[in-house]
Amino acid sequence: MASLDSSDVFIKEYQQRFEKKIRQNEIELLEYWKNQLDRVVSARPDSIASLQTQVMKLSEMMANRIKVLKKGHDG
């Protein structure tokens, strides 16, 4: 029964490390995209069209990243 307890402890520790890594990855992801948005804001576009172009570029970057991640996940 002791081996079952140590197995449970191992699983719990592994799960905690996994969840910590997932949170850290999410933080890094959000920091990256926040930085990208902050760059758009700080650029102070001179027109709505210019702002729209910058937002569309950011959206395309996100779409490309999603496509790359999905491709890597499928293969």
Please check whether residue 24 is in contact with residue 46, taking contact to mean a CB–CB distance below 8 angstroms: no
Name the pTM for this structure: 0.69
Tell me how long the chain is. Answer: 75
Please check whether residue 21 is in contact with residue 32, taking contact to mean a CB–CB distance below 8 angstroms: no
User: 51: Cβ–Cβ under 8 A, 6 or more apart, which residues?
Assistant: 40, 45
**Confidence tier at 72 by pLDDT (50, 70, 90):** confident
Q: What is the pLDDT of residues 40-65, one digit of tens each?
A: 889 887 899 988 999 999 999 999 98
Give the Cα separation of 71 and 61 in Å (integer).
Answer: 15
Residue % of the chain over a pLDDT of 70: 93
Alpha helices in the chain (DSSP H): 2-43, 48-74
